[in-house]
Amino acid sequence: MSGVLLWVVCPKENASFAATTSYSLVPKNRAQVRSHNSKGCSRLNFSSEVFAAASLSSAVASPPRSSVEKVYEVVLKQAALVKEQKKERALDVRKEKGQTDSMTRGDLLNGAYNRCGEVCSEYAKTFYLGTLLMTPERRRAVWAIYVWCRRTDELVDGPNASHITPKALDRWEQRLNELFEGRPYDMYDAALSNTVSKYPVDIQPFKDMIEGMRMDLKKSRYKDFDELYLYCYYVAGTVGLMSVPVMGIAPESKASAESVYNAALALGIANQLTNILRDVGEDARRGRIYLPQDELAQAGLSDEDIFKGKVTDKWRSFMKGQIKRARMFFDEAEKGVAELNDASRWPVWASLLLYKQILDSIEANDYDNFSKRAYVGKTKKFASLPVAYGRALMGGSSKFAKPARS
């Protein structure tokens, strides 16, 4: 599992792009979002010579919000929810210790959680091993979230995907509403329903993930990174927002809740970008291209080049820029992992390090993601686990520390 948004970064894109494209990740305030600084990059906007005139006119006309703005509002909501329920959660934990198992952890509920654990161990082995370091309560909750996300993804990518309609996703969303109201449909829903009743988990990221599935039903091209970013948030960044309340922020952390959620979101974005770059050939065979159309054009590439699947110098140059951006998101995510509860860090570090190595594999394949599938071999996977464990033991950082008050 993954998750996480982004900060204020103005990276220099690969030279293959016709015009340098800058993307800033987190708005400080609405005024900054809508302002353009000729000495630096524009917050939450694409800035280039190509878009200069359009950006100027849209600023005057009060432009629609960018995808990052929309997502950041969700991040702020989740962070506020954690703050509001922190004290209430502490009281609930003390109450639960004095209650009988029959009230909250009956045999049926235990069975539901255990089944979620079995699914997790079958389809996410490395992550599952990492969850065993968590407290039993956190571990079970993470399993429940993982299973719901997997079932949601299977709706559009599973064996019955060809039969899925928008109405089916509407019904799935109705089931989600009901489980949040304490009326689960089946044992897997029961586990998640119990989880969201214990932790400050909001329904919005779950709804947003379903929205990502709707996009997959009707959309197969993304005109620019702003559109692609929103899709990545829907299908992967949401997982971080779901998981942080369960994994917990380290008591000794000086980071703000918003910054930790942002880091979690960035990991989800990074993972999804990595998936996209790994699966270019596979997606193309399904008629899908999850690459920014404007950046392809700037690199002198077209849909036809993707469908031909030929590795050229233009393609290599383009891919270098895409990989650089994915690594930028991984770098931002690392800052937040260190702020998680100590028992939750290892599985997240393991996921991050393993996914990051997929980008190395793409490079090792000479950027042939048309006919070769980049993967991390078992030897490298096992070698990464102690590295991840070592980083988890290092504890929190001061990179997100709040500034001292005067």
Q: Is residue 133 part of a domain?
A: yes
pLDDT of residue 308: 96
Backbone angles phi, psi at 22, to 5 degrees: -115, 140
Compute the distance between CA of residue 283 and CA of residue 279 in angstroms, rounded to an integer. 6
Greater pLDDT, 237 or 132: 237
pLDDT digits (tens, 9 = 90+) for 300-317: 999 999 999 999 999 999
187-198 helix and 166-180 helix, angle to the nearest 10 degrees: 50
Greater pLDDT, 364 or 108: 364
Q: Is residue 186 part of a domain?
A: yes
Q: What is the CATH number of the domain that holds 330?
A: 1.10.600.10
pLDDT digits (tens, 9 = 90+) for 183-223: 999 999 999 999 999 999 999 999 999 999 999 999 999 99
Q: Which domain holds residue 297?
A: 67-87+104-394
- Split into its structural domains, the chain has a count of 1
pLDDT of residue 182: 94
Query: Hey, which of 72-76, 79-83, 129-133, 236-240 has the most confident mean pLDDT?
Result: 236-240
pLDDT of residue 383: 84
Q: Mean pLDDT throughout 277-298?
A: 97
Say yes or no to pLDDT of 43 above 50.
no
Say yes or no to pLDDT of 323 above 70.
yes
Backbone angles phi, psi at 292, to 5 degrees: -60, 120
Q: Mean pLDDT throughout 253-280?
A: 94
Compute the distance between CA of residue 124 and CA of residue 133 in angstroms, rounded to an integer. 15
Backbone angles phi, psi at 133, to 5 degrees: -80, -15
Q: Is residue 40 part of a domain?
A: no
Which tokens hold the place of 290? 């999850």
pTM score, whole prediction: 0.78
pLDDT of residue 129: 81
Closest CA to 229 of 195, 269, 263: 269
Q: Mean pLDDT throughout 271-296?
A: 96
Q: Is residue 388 part of a domain?
A: yes
pLDDT of residue 84: 65
The terminus-to-terminus CA distance of the chain in angstroms comes to 40
Greater pLDDT, 248 or 43: 248
pLDDT digits (tens, 9 = 90+) for 153-166: 999 988 888 888 99
